[in-house]
Amino acid sequence: MRVFKCSHCSKIHLEIGHTQIHFISLLDLRRYLETLDSIDAAYYADINRRKGLNKVIILPLDNTGCVHLGFSMQEFESLKSVIRQYLANHEFADEAALEAVNWQEFIDWK
């Protein structure tokens, strides 16, 4: 599992085995991590274990719902850790993630 920015297309790639998920900016990757963090992993792991699944955290790969990625609890935590580490090392590297501040609005504010 790894996260890297491609020197050819400038996208951020999250590589999980033979699967890659592409992000246009750090902001998109941050939002993805927020989504992962919002998942009650223990709840879904319990449900999926009762179904006899080995990979207990099942994430949709896209919005069609046709393709899913399966993770054990350890793999799921590793996924989040790899993303967190990448973001920590590239916090301000992506200008698209920075918000422009209109100082005139602050000056005119009463």
pLDDT above 50 for 102: no
Residue 50 within any structural domain of the chain: yes
In a domain? residue 34: yes
Q: Is residue 59 part of a domain?
A: yes
Q: How many domains does the chain have?
A: 1
Phi, psi of 63 (to 5 degrees): -85, 0
pLDDT one-digit tens code per residue, 42-56:
999 999 999 999 899
Domain that holds residue 58: 26-92
Q: pTM of the predicted model, to two decimals? A: 0.77
- Model confidence band, residue 93 (pLDDT cutoffs 50, 70, 90): low
Alpha helices in the chain (DSSP H): 26-38, 41-50, 73-89, 103-108
Tell me, yes or no, whether 15 lies in a domain. no
Convert the pLDDT of each residue in 1-22 to its tens digit: 999 998 888 899 999 989 999 9
The residues near 28 (Cβ < 8 Å, ≥ 6 apart) are 12
Is residue 42 in some structural domain? Answer: yes
Q: What DSSP state is assigned to residue 110?
A: -
